[in-house]
């Protein structure tokens, strides 16, 4: 008779995602993980390989949450450009109160890790590209519907949106004036190369 896991894998990944997102990779010790997910280190190693293995799963989980948020923004509006704007407002403004950390976990990871964690850096870059691709798809849809100019490369625009999101999230950490942030995002969309 084979042993079955006595834990909910997704629940463990969700808890670990929040912990890593809040503290970062280096500030999250095995002891912190053990306390947060209520598993012994041996069980964590058996289930995820090691700290890096669990961290990779949390990066994927975070990315999947972002992709779901983009898809949800699109489902809730008739306009792809409005969906993009709503997504930006959500991750910049709402995440300041609802997320373990208002900063993007992927951007935070890239900023934190050094060359000794090259594999984790490459994994994180891959997930950033997935988010960028989803943004690009919204922009392409907006172009096909005549909402924005077709002369600008959608990949360029998607990269630019990611840069703006990162900057706005950083700004929001030091100045969490919701009205001002909404106004800045509205201005961004008015003056974008759309």
pLDDT of residue 176: 77
Q: Is residue 175 part of a domain?
A: yes
Q: Is residue 166 part of a domain?
A: yes
pLDDT of residue 190: 87
pLDDT of residue 97: 87
Q: Is residue 171 part of a domain?
A: yes
The secondary structure of the chain, three-state, reads: CCCCCCCCHHHHHHHHHHHHHHHCCCCCCHHHHHHHHCCCHHHHHHHHCCHHHHHHHHHHHHHHHHHHHHHHHHHCCCCHHHHHHHHHHHHHHHHHHHCCCCCCHHHHHHHHCCHHHHHHHHHHHHHHHHHHHHHHHHHHHHHHCCCCCCCCCHHHHHHHHHHHHHHHHHHHHHCCCHHHHHHHHHHHHHHCCC
Q: Is residue 107 part of a domain?
A: yes
CATH number of the domain that 109 lies in?
Answer: 1.10.357.10
pLDDT of residue 175: 87
Q: Is residue 142 part of a domain?
A: yes
Q: Is residue 154 part of a domain?
A: yes
pLDDT of residue 192: 67
Between CA 76 and CA 19 the distance in angstroms is: 30
Range of the domain at 183: 62-191
| Domain total of the chain | 1
- Tens digit of pLDDT at every position of the chain (194 positions): 445 557 899 999 999 999 999 999 999 999 999 999 999 989 999 999 999 999 999 999 999 999 999 999 999 999 999 999 999 999 999 988 888 998 999 999 999 999 999 999 999 999 999 999 999 999 999 999 999 989 989 999 999 999 999 999 999 988 879 999 999 999 998 876 65
To the question of pTM greater than 0.85 for the whole model, the response is yes
pLDDT of residue 127: 98
pLDDT of residue 2: 47
């Amino acid at each position: 008779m084979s042993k079955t896991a006595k834990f909910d894998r997704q629940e463990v990944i969700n808890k670990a995602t929040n912990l890593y997102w809040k503290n970062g990779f280096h500030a999250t010790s095995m002891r912190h993980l053990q306390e947060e997910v209520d598993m012994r280190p041996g069980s964590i190693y058996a289930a995820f390989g090691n700290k890096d293995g669990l961290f990779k799963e949390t990066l994927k989980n975070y990315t999947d949450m972002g992709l779901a948020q983009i898809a949800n923004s699109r489902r809730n509006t008739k306009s792809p450009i409005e969906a993009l704007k709503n997504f930006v407002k959500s991750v910049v403004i709402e995440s300041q109160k609802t997320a373990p950390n208002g900063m993007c976990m992927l951007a935070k990871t890239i900023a934190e890790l050094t060359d000794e964690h090259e594999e984790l850096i490459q994994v994180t870059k891959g997930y950033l590209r997935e988010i960028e691709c989803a943004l690009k798809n919204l922009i392409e849809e907006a172009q096909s519907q005549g909402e924005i100019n077709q002369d600008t490369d959608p990949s360029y625009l998607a990269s630019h949106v990611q840069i703006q999101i990162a900057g706005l999230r950083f700004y929001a950490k030091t100045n969490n004036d919701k009205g001002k942030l909404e106004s800045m995002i509205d201005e961004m969309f008015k003056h974008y190369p759309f």
